[in-house]
């Protein structure tokens, strides 16, 4: 019997990436919900076996500018109260944190590019141990507080809260384990304005994707397999 997986996508190029074939191998039938276009409500999210909330270049707190976020937050909160398997990546992790009552705010700075994580003691005993030796892709400027009852798993020098887990089934990641390094050009095009404004050379990210991508994908797959096993 097929399992159902829903992925909430906020921009086309930030998709499931390397997670898509992994989920299919594990028996999941994957469907995307396009944020701001498709209906994202409690019933839709609650009926899925797995929900993955993907990234995007907007802030959780921008509900006045992007009203669909209010309904999305309510739907996420409903699912999390049911303790159903949910993975949040970047904006997705921030939305989950906000739905759990934690603060999400702009930091006024950005962390963009490939850099390693520092794992907390709890993180070293978690699925993230699979990626602690390889740089991961960061692309964020907002920061979430760790939700009440959740465990902080990772940090970087500029962002002390990089990952959290609330029990075995709810996982929030500020960074991008899902990104397919062979598709990094889509990210560089899609975020061209931000890269220009922040004076970040896309050639650096392109070269780091070439150097670190294959090993990161191997390690990220191992981490995600471990999470799928425990849910």
Q: Residue 10 catalytic? A: no
For residue 178, give the DSSP letter.
S
Q: CA torsion angle for 194, 216, 90, 173 (degrees, to 10)?
A: -150
Tell me the C-alpha to C-alpha distance, in Å, between residue 71 and each of 39, 99, 120, 159.
9, 11, 33, 28
Residue 170: how many other CB atoms lie within 10 Å:
22
Q: Give the residue among 69, 62, 48 at the shortest CA–CA distance from 3.
A: 48
- Residue 192 sits at the vertex; the CA angle it makes with 188 and 197, to the nearest 5 degrees, is 130
From the candidates 10, 14, 72, 90, which is the catalytic residue? 90
Longest CA–CA separation in the chain, Å: 50
Catalytic residue among 72, 111, 178, 217: 178
Dihedral (Cα; 118, 123, 128, 132), 10-degree rounding: 30
Catalytic residue at 178? yes
Catalytic center residues = 90, 176, 178
């Amino acid at each position: 019997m097929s399992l159902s997986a829903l992925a909430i996508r906020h921009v086309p190029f930030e998709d499931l990436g390397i997670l898509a074939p992994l989920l299919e191998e594990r028996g999941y039938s994957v469907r995307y919900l396009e944020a701001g276009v498709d209906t994202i409500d409690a019933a839709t999210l609650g009926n899925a076996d797995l929900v993955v909330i993907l990234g995007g270049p907007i802030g959780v707190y921008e509900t006045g500018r992007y009203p669909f976020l209010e309904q999305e937050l309510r739907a996420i909160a409903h699912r999390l109260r049911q303790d159903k398997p949910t993975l949040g990546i970047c904006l997705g992790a921030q939305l989950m944190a906000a739905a759990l009552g934690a603060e999400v705010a702009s930091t006024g700075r950005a962390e963009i590019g490939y850099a390693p994580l520092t794992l907390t003691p709890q993180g070293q005993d978690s699925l993230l141990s699979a990626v602690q030796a390889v740089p991961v892709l960061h692309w964020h400027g907002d920061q979430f507080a760790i939700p009440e009852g959740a465990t902080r798993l990772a940090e970087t020098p500029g962002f002390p809260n990089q990952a959290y887990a609330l029990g075995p089934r709810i996982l929030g990641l500020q960074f991008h384990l899902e990104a397919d390094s062979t598709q990094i050009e889509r990210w560089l095009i899609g975020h061209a304005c931000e890269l220009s404004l922040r004076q970040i050379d896309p050639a650096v990210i392109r070269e780091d994707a070439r150097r670190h991508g294959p090993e990161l994908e191997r390690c990220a797959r191992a981490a995600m397999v471990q999470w799928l096993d425990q849910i």
